[in-house]
Amino acid sequence: MAHTVASRPVPEGETWARSALSRLADVPGVHRAGLALAEGGGRRLLFTASDRDDGQRVTWCEIDAYDHVPLTHTVRTGEAVLGSLDDLAVGYPAFIDHQAPQTMALAFLPIVAAGHVQGGYALFFDAPQPFDQEQLAELEDLGTQLGADLRRVQRTTTHASRSLDAEPVPDGARAATYSVAPDPRAVAHARHFAHTTLASWDIDEGTVSNAVLCLSELVTNALLHTDAGCEVRVLLDQGVMTATVRDSGSTVVVDPSSVTKDPLAAHGRGLQLVDAFSTRWGSQLDAAGMSVWFTLEPANLHAGRAHVPVDR
């Protein structure tokens, strides 16, 4: 995995990460452990590992959430990836080629809190593992425990700001934010902001329409779930448009995998529209609120039409 130094510290990361890495190191046969937290609208992960802790400070680095490695797959999908090096070499040959000689088996499990995948953890074993149902259940439970610990730390951490306007902007990218008043009539203003901004960035009209439609649905949901309004952010980075809606009061976790299970559920149709018209989407829960995001990939930007997601 290609890593770069994180552009900002992880407020809740130091205390939680050191405790989590210690727990992971206690798993029998583990010689290295890693942790990843989702951020940046789901497009990147913040990663640290047991060999990155010098006893003074936990060092985090950024990983592209769509790198073809097992940990990013686990965080994107919530699916466990585990097996021997031979097992995983079939799907991840380049990643396996870079493993240390003492590594005999690997396990990647999601870190789950409030029904939401917050990140993932990685275990590097120095002996073959059975990975039977009993061991899998133990590893899944460990992911749930780590998630619960993370939520407790998040809820007691004071953040200087969790405004979308304070989020870092990648070099060469364009970003704009807008505060939406706690009034259903403000949805129209959010649509106008998105349309005007994206059009000024020379994005084709079809894609602008898709983005405005999806954003309108997410803003509507945010206003329904909180009395505090919300923020909207649009970002254009290397031809990929990411839109994020953040509220400070909702505790409703949006699970992309659930939108087709009950199409008649309240507001379900709106989320199905987001699912159909965006390349991928998801939500991120932290101590200060909920962020729901979606992206339109280059294919959308060129074609200006709806795109059914294949891999989120």
pLDDT confidence of residue 10: 55
The Cα–Cα gap between 258 and 285 comes to: 17
Backbone angles phi, psi at 234, to 5 degrees: -120, 140
CATH 3.30.450.40 intervals, the chain: 4-156
CB distance 279 to 151 below 8 Å: no
Q: In CATH, what number does 164-303 get?
A: 3.30.565.10
End-to-end CA distance of the chain: 19
Instruction: Please state, in angstroms and rounded to a whole number, the distance separating the CA atoms of residues 293 and 279.
Output: 11
User: Tell me, what's the pLDDT at 303?
Assistant: 40
pLDDT for the residue numbered 216: 94
pLDDT of residue 130: 96
The string of pLDDT tens digits covering residues 14-65 is: 788 889 999 999 999 999 999 998 875 567 788 999 987 566 678 888 888 8
Checking if the pLDDT of 308 tops 50, the result is no
* C-beta of residue 112 within 8 angstroms of C-beta of residue 144: yes
pLDDT tens-digit series, residues 127-181: 999 999 999 999 999 999 999 888 777 666 555 456 788 788 888 999 999 999 9
For residue 112, give the amino acid letter: V
Residue type, 133: Q
pTM over 0.75: no
In the chain, alpha helices (H): 13-25, 70-77, 85-89, 93-97, 133-156, 186-200, 205-225, 268-277, 298-303
Q: Token pair of 263, please?
A: 């199409």
Q: At what angle do helices 186-200 and 205-225 cross, to 10 degrees?
A: 150
Kindly tell me if the per-residue pLDDT of 96 is higher than 80: yes
Query: Do 136 and 115 touch, CB atoms closer than 8 A?
Result: no
Q: Which residue would you say has higher pLDDT here, 2 or 282? A: 282
CATH 3.30.565.10 location in the chain = 164-303
Topology adopted by domain 4-156: Beta-Lactamase (3.30.450)
| Cα–Cα distance measured from residue 30 to residue 20, given in angstroms and rounded to the nearest whole number | 14
